[in-house]
Amino acid sequence: MAAHQHDENCKKMFSLLSEYLDMELPAETCKEMGSHINGCEPCAAFTESLRQTIELCRKYQSKELPGPIARDARQKLVEAYQKMLADRRS
Amino acid sequence: MERAAEIELARQLLDGKPEAFDKFVDHFRAKIFNYSQLLCGHREDAEEVVQETLLNVFEKFSQLREPEHVRAWVFRIAKNVCLIKRRKSIFAPQQEVSLDELMPARGTSGDPMKIEIADWSGLPEDEVLRSELQRALDDAIAEMPEIYRSVMLLRDVEELSTEETAHVLGVNTDAVKTRLHRARLLARKKLDTYLRASRPGLEKN
């Protein structure tokens, strides 16, 4: 494959990679991209690294949790909920 | 908590079953806290955002027409509370990062089949490395422009759909897709740099 043509395909791919991984592309485009990735080692490696980045986000664990809810704060929420129910009934 | 369980809690609350109340509060307190802290970066603000958001949520609960979208609905309220908290708008227009800047560099050999990229293999099994990478991801999220961060937190961390994210942020779905792609590429670049520094012998090129 000529280096120039290869570069152009890679660039086109690069801009659509998230939509490809999210399966948001038309079937035809998706197929084209799949076959390009299969035959292009740098694109395959890059796609895999992007996929793992997304995976890491999905498994994100919070560093910190909020402190336990204060009694009066909870009470305010309970009152707001009860008021909403009462307003809806009236 | 699974999305289905969260939707069920919302349905129960709409039906006036108070036994769902504490579970719902605990679940969303943690979620909103995390979102607010990652979006704005202040613990004290995050505590306030959590309480104000939930207060709004319960006041308006009868307006939740589609319980299956409860997560997006709650996050839309949380985003608005975050906006008010911040002195300057966190969603002020910012210049888009060019995609070219995020493409991997060609290897030093000049071979088009080589790029500068770390070896990402074995990552799913390596728990220590994964937790280190999560810290690098924290940094990446904190450093990226806010228009990207706001999308990534909703799409990839909270796993809202493109449409739900667009609704929460008040932008169209194309903007969500464009920003998400850049956010992911920025995060990927940061993680790749981290991997190359921590596993220097394993570089692909």
CA A48/CA B191 separation, integer angstroms? 13
Q: How far is A84 from chain B (nearest CA, A)?
A: 6
pLDDT for the residue numbered B20: 94
Please answer whether residues B74 and B33 qualify as being in contact, where contact means their C-beta atoms are separated by less than 8 angstroms: no
Q: Which of B2, B28, B55, B199 to substitute to test the interface with A, most A CBs within 10 Å?
A: B55
Percentage of chain A modeled with pLDDT above 90: 64
Q: What share of chain B is helix, strand, coil (3-state, %, to 5)?
A: 70, 0, 25
B184 and A53: CB-CB below 8 Å?
yes
> Which CATH fold topology does B3-85 show?
Rna Polymerase Sigma Factor; Chain: A (1.10.1740)
* Domain B3-85 and domain B99-202 have a common topology: no
Domain map (residue ranges) of chain B: 3-85, 99-202
Q: Tokens 């228009």 — which residue?
A: B147
Query: Smallest CA–CA separation between A85 and chain B, in Å?
Result: 7
pLDDT in tens, B54-81: 999 999 999 999 999 999 999 999 999 9
Among residues A19, A25, A64, the alpha carbon closest in space to that of B44 is found at A64
pLDDT in tens, B108-120: 666 666 778 888 8
pLDDT at B7 over 70: yes
Give the span between the Cα atoms of B186 and B194, in whole angstroms: 13
Q: What is the largest CA-CA distance in chain B?
A: 67
pLDDT-derived band of residue A64, with 50, 70 and 90 as boundaries? confident
CATH of domain B99-202: 1.10.10.10
Q: Do B113 and A41 touch (CB under 8 A)?
A: yes
- How does the average pLDDT of chain A come out, rounded? 88
Nearest CA in chain A to B106: A42
pLDDT of residue A4: 45
- Give the mean model confidence (pLDDT) for residues B146-154: 93
Say if the Cβ atoms of B34 and A62 lie within 8 Å: yes
| pTM of the predicted model as reported, rounded to 2 decimal places | 0.86
What is the C-alpha separation between B184 and B156, in angstroms, rounded?
Answer: 9
Write out chain A residues lying below 8 Å of B50, CB-based: 66
| pLDDT tens digits for range B86-108 | 755 455 556 678 888 888 877 66
Compute how many other C-beta atoms are within 10 angstroms of the C-beta atom of residue B4.
9
Residues of A in contact with B152 (CB under 8 A): 57
Interior/surface letters B97-115, b for 16+ CB within 10 angstroms, e for the rest? beeeeebbebbeeeebebb
**Would you state the pLDDT for residue B30?**
93
Neighbours of B70 (CB within 10 A): 23
